[in-house]
Amino acid sequence: MLTVILIAMLFAVPGGLLLALDSHGDPFKELERRAKASIGKTRDKSGIRLRLEELGLNSERDYQDFRIRQFGYCAASSAIVMVLVLIFKHSLLTCLLTVILIASFFFVIIDRDLTTRVNRRRELIEAEFPAVVEMLTLAIAAGETPMSAMLRIADSADGELAREFGNVIIAVRTGEPLHLGLDAMGRRVKSIMIRRFIDAIITATLRGAPLIEVLSRHAVEARANQRNIIMAAAGKAEISMMIPVVFLILPISILFALWPSLTNLNLYAS
């Protein structure tokens, strides 16, 4: 009897809320409007806005959509788990603990998925960086201005760093100075290597220093850094390959080598 009452309350509470919010003709839109308003007032203490901006999702709507999706998955999974637990007639404490655990699990999973996307984008940008720097160096050495060289890279290349140069071109065309657009790009891309490169370009542009030498030096450093990253990944792969060798292949080899001797010793002993 208690289970039936709890299940009825589970479906009755959302219905009552929708009826209470039915002041503008559409309760679903009213509920969405109030949820977005409350989300917009909260402070972002987990750095979600910064991570979304790094992915190119700069608007308030993108942040609200992410939060609605996160809390929506938590609420939907919690409701389904609550109904299942109550149907199988478990205790109320077990039901509450399971709901809290499932909601926390989905909340953390969605947050970690965003972090994974950001880290993957950083890795792609750092992998594209040496080739893009060399293209920029060749274009400027051929007589093009930094603005036209970035425009050529944004039009011809296909990658995350080329898209960032495209955002810089768009910002400059709307009236923003080139050094401010580059500085905004360096703040968006949370990479030490990209930040040093942007600072060097801004300093050379503002002070009139030779830009070719700066770009050539950064191209050499980028290739060396990429080589170090590849060597580190190769070292980790070598250690990972030792696990099946040590724990699988080596014991089987020793067993094949010792098995005839052990069989002969058992025959002599018998």
Separation CA 53–CA 174 (nearest Å): 19
Residue 117 has pLDDT above 80, yes or no: yes
Residue 207 has pLDDT above 50, yes or no: yes
pLDDT at 46: 66
Percentage, residues of the chain above pLDDT 70: 81
pLDDT in tens, 151-193: 888 888 788 888 888 888 888 888 888 888 888 888 888 888 8
pLDDT at 32: 54
For the segment 145-152, the average pLDDT, to the nearest whole number, is: 86
Separation CA 126–CA 186 (nearest Å): 13
pLDDT at 258: 81
Residue with tokens 């947050």: 111
Could you tell me how far CA 96 lies from the centroid of its own chain? 31
Domains along the chain with CATH numbers:
2-119 (no CATH), 123-227 (1.20.81)
HEC letters along 233-267:
HHHHHHHHHHHHHHHHHHHHHHHHHHHHHHHHHHH
For the segment 34-56, the average pLDDT, to the nearest whole number, is: 64
Pick the closest to residue 223 from 134, 121, 135 (CA basis). Answer: 134
pLDDT at 40: 46
Separation CA 184–CA 50 (nearest Å): 13
pLDDT at 120: 87
Residue 130 has pLDDT above 80, yes or no: yes
Task: Describe the chain by its helix, strand, coil percentages, rounded to 5.
Answer: 85, 0, 15
Query: Could you give the 3-state DSSP secondary structure of residue 152?
Result: helix
Residue 19 has pLDDT above 70, yes or no: no
Give the mean pLDDT of the chain: 77
For 65-118, the DSSP string reads: HHHHHHHHHHHHHHHHHHHHHHHTT--HHHHHHHHHHHHHHHHHHHHHHHHHHH
pLDDT at 208: 75
Percentage, residues of the chain above pLDDT 90: 0
Integer angstrom CA distances of residue 13 from 8, 18, 20, 33, 101: 9, 9, 11, 19, 22
Residue 200 has pLDDT above 60, yes or no: yes
Torsion of CA 103, 107, 112, 115, to 10 degrees: 180
H helices within 88-210, ranges in order?
92-141, 146-156, 160-173, 178-188, 192-207
pLDDT band at 31 (very low <50, low <70, confident <90, very high): very low
pLDDT band at 29 (very low <50, low <70, confident <90, very high): low
- φ, ψ of residue 22 to 5 degrees: the values are -80, 65
